[in-house]
Amino acid sequence: MPTTPSDRTVFRTCPLCEATCGLEITIKDGAVARIRGDRDDVFSKGFICPKGSTLKQLHEDPDRLRKPLIKRNGTHVEVSWEEAWQEVERGLMGVINTHGRGAVGVYLGNPNAHNLAPLIYNRVWLQALGTKQRFSASSVDQIPKQVSSGYMFGTPATIAIPDLDRTQYILMLGANPYDSNGSLCTAPDFPGRLEAMRERGGKLVVVDPRKSKTAEHCDEWLAIRPGADALFLAAIANTIFEEGLSNVGDHMRPNVAGLDVLPAALKQFTASAVAQAVGIDAETIKRIAREFAAADKALVYGRIGTCTVSFGTTASWLVDVVNTVTGNLDREGGVMFTMPAAGGPTTRGQKGTGKGFSIGRGHSRVRKFPEALGEYPVSVMAEEIATPGEGQIKALITAGGNPVLSTPNTLALEESMKSLEFMVSVDIYLNETTRYADVILPSPSQLERSHFDLVFTGFSVRNVANYSEPVFERGADQPDEWEIFLKLAGIAQGMGANADVSMIDDFTLDAFIGSIMKDSSSPTNGLTAEQIREQLDATGARGADRMLDLMLRTGPYGDGFGANTSGISLAHMKQHPHGIDFGPLEPRIPEVLRTPSGKVELAPQPLLADLPRLAQSMTEFNDEQLVLVGRRHLRSNNSWMHNIEVLIKGKERCTLQMHPRDAQRVGVQDGSVARISSRVGAIDAIVELTPDIRERVVSLPHGWGHDMSGTRMSVAAKRAGVNSNVLTDENEMDPLSGNSVMNGIPVTVAPVGV
């Protein structure tokens, strides 16, 4: 723990989104006086968005939990940590002893990906629990991209990242980085980087049913029909093949497999065959294909809008197919692979080949959906809780997640949650989800913990690393987040509420050292496990920091415990509060691959096998049907930054955007309240007319609906908005990954009170 003189300036990475901006935080009289962008940050160079400075308000938010809560007679009351842990032991072990370990369900939410301790320790308590009923926000987000990348490159962490700063042509689908600041492409000041590309003569094409803020700043906007990106990309690839424009490049030629079967597999997806279903005319599709193939350095980038649809995995695959067949995979200005400082699946083990990737190690109990990445789709969570029988979920643990607002068919999920025998949440608020918890365990504030972006240093547009020490000391009895997770692990192992977390931590570390020693590619300078342990302990670090030190030192830029004297360690990172820049991305194929063939698999069998379904979608669309898509706003963050007054004030944001002609057809007016209904539910929202949206498409943001009883978010409750996931349908999924369909939901819109 650093000591905390009352006046000082510290530097820290913002943990709120994937952009990982550097912050300069001025402390006066022991409190945050100001937060602004860190101009010396090696990556963000002073860029910040309106959310970054609100870490002050978040830290000071009186509604943020500082003590554990236990539900007594329907009301949450503050208790000591000791009491909370005893309750967790009683409740959790009660369920495990009666119904078995398979009766415990787990849901992990998005903030886990931005938080060092859970990234290291979640697997420890999950292993201790020994349940297969695992769910996460991945299956309402990026899992299709991970599945397609797993098939193509060998691991689900091997994701090809846009080389934004050197490209000359971006075909962007279903992403709006002007509001989201980017995803699966860590690039602080993403908008600035796009503008720089256009200034150097590059072209930005945005494919989005809505004229998003990014589309307002592009060279060409294509208003695609929701869900049709896979067809669009198939036709782009088809045109490239048909017109002889394919060229994978000399560097890639020996490293790709499946190129021979692709042209035939995609033969039926001609521009004219898909045009109607896609909603973009054939000539435009062909022109974009030609432009893309002719561009000096070009890349396709697809995100949420391409993933949370029923062809999510197919679209994600075709993104990389188009990149590869135009010679833009693994080359400057195309898509490339980041080299993460703390190492990971793309740096460890044998280089250039591996076990490859598959799904389906087990199936969900009720709907028999295949496992992917060690979890089941969150779309099946409610039925796993609600359906009686062996393996039914009776206890639920949520950590950093708000599935009630974030996952499909809220009403069904909530109904199921009422039947749980026990629920515990690790969270910082009493919100729509945690109100169901019997025990809520608060994480320390974002400013009371160390930070290192284990995930996003693997997906960034430059090779960078940045470590932040805690700004403030934790409150007297507030455990660190890793201690919370290891206590959970101890309890799940039957060690009880008094489980010794430092002992479990030592044990976990020793196991990790053991696995690194087994990996001959890890530099350990010939030391024994004991010597490594001694060196790590000598720094005084424990928990997440000590584990991070081990990862950094044995990572690709590490000091290897002396093997590389100019290499990095945690101590080294602490001397660089503005981060370290290891330079632009460099070609990594074939070394990065972990496929059994040692090649990029351009035509994975599961994707070829699903092409008939894609072909069917060319004819199965309904031009009359209104469909709902989502959107994000810069001043919001999924469901949970809505209790910050400075972010939430101003114009109402939770509105139903709609084309004036659609409004006329259904009889609603600008500013009036409309009822939106889907197969599973109905909500009322204020209509906002705009010509900047494709006809028959309406848009509503997610993460709202804060007017539920029993929560403690006083600011959010005043600007509640409505929950769009009352409308999303748990039966609509991407069959290849289990991802929920969150975009393109069939709805009707009608005036309220008529």
Binding segment for ligand SF4 (CB under 6 A), chosen from 48-56, 63-71, 239-247, 643-651, is 48-56
What is the smallest separation between the CB atom of 309 and ligand MGD, expressed in angstroms?
Answer: 5
Which partner from the list ligand SF4, Mo ion, ligand MGD, none does 508 bind, CB cut-off 5 to 8 Å by kind?
A: none
Shorter beta-carbon distance to ligand MGD: residue 209 or 681: 209
Task: Provide the angle, in degrees to the nearest 10, between the axes of the packed helices 481-492 and 501-518.
Answer: 90
Q: Which residue is nearest to ligand SF4 (CB)?
A: 52
- Based on the shown chain and the rule CB under 6 A, indicate whether residue 139 belongs to the binding site for ligand MGD: no
Among positions 54, 122, 183, 595, the unique one binding ligand MGD when judged by CB under 6 A: 183
Task: Give me 482's structure tokens.
Answer: 């890793």
Q: How far apart are CA 749 and CA 742, in angstroms?
A: 17
Cis peptide before 590 (omega within 30 of 0): yes
Strand pairing report for 31-37 and 22-28: antiparallel
Task: Give me 426's structure tokens.
Answer: 């690790």
Shorter beta-carbon distance to ligand SF4: residue 54 or 314: 54
Binding segment for ligand MGD (CB under 6 A), chosen from 233-241, 394-402, 506-514, 580-588, is 394-402
- Based on the shown chain and the rule CB under 6 A, indicate whether residue 626 belongs to the binding site for ligand SF4: no
- CA distances to 86, 196, 208, 704 from 180, in Å: 41, 18, 14, 16
In the stretch 668-707, what mask flags binding to ligand MGD with x, by CB under 6 A?
----------------------------------xx----
Ramachandran angles phi, psi of 247, nearest 5°: -160, 105
Which partner from the list ligand MGD, Mo ion, ligand SF4, none does 369 bind, CB cut-off 5 to 8 Å by kind?
A: none
- Based on the shown chain and the rule CB under 6 A, indicate whether residue 58 belongs to the binding site for ligand SF4: no
Q: How far apart are CA 440 and CA 538, in angstroms?
A: 35
What is the smallest separation between the CB atom of 52 and ligand SF4, expressed in angstroms?
Answer: 3
What is the smallest separation between the CB atom of 543 and ligand SF4, expressed in angstroms?
Answer: 24
**Burial environment of residue 7 by CB neighbours within 10 A (0 to 12, 13 to 18, 19 or more):** exposed
What is the smallest separation between the CB atom of 180 and ligand SF4, expressed in angstroms?
Answer: 9
Identify whether the C-beta of residue 674 lies closer than 8 Å to the C-beta of residue 687: yes
- Based on the shown chain and the rule CB under 6 A, indicate whether residue 648 belongs to the binding site for ligand MGD: no
- What is the footprint of ligand SF4 within residues 162-181 (CB under 6 A)? 181
Closest CA to 499 of 518, 484, 512: 484
Task: Give me 504's structure tokens.
Answer: 């479990």
Q: Look-up: residue for tokens 């000539």?
A: 283
Strand pairing report for 682-689 and 673-677: antiparallel
What is the smallest separation between the CB atom of 386 and ligand MGD, expressed in angstroms?
Answer: 19
- Based on the shown chain and the rule CB under 6 A, indicate whether residue 21 belongs to the binding site for ligand SF4: yes
Among positions 10, 12, 19, 134, the unique one binding ligand SF4 when judged by CB under 6 A: 19
Please give the radius of gyration of the chain, using alpha carbons only, rounded to the nearest integer: 25
What is the smallest separation between the CB atom of 298 and ligand MGD, expressed in angstroms?
Answer: 18
The angle formed by the CA atoms of residues 449, 180 and 201, to the nearest 5 degrees, is: 125
Among positions 24, 43, 51, 516, the unique one binding ligand SF4 when judged by CB under 6 A: 51
DSSP at 470: -
Task: Give me 390's structure tokens.
Answer: 């062996």
Which partner from the list ligand SF4, ligand MGD, Mo ion, none does 719 bind, CB cut-off 5 to 8 Å by kind?
A: none
Which amino acid is present at 630? G
- What is the footprint of ligand SF4 within residues 187-206 (CB under 6 A)? 188
E strand intervals along 602-658: 626-629, 655-658
Identify whether the C-beta of residue 484 lies closer than 8 Å to the C-beta of residue 81: no
586 alpha-carbon distance from chain centroid: 24
What is the smallest separation between the CB atom of 662 and ligand MGD, expressed in angstroms?
Answer: 15
Interface residues with ligand MGD (CB under 6 A)? 17, 109-111, 115, 137, 140-141, 173-177, 179-181, 183, 207-210, 212, 224, 226-227, 229, 303-306, 309, 399-403, 406, 426-429, 431, 443, 629-634, 636-640, 702-703, 724-725, 728, 742-744
Q: Which residues bind ligand SF4 (CB under 6 A)?
A: 14, 16-17, 19-21, 48-49, 51-52, 181, 188
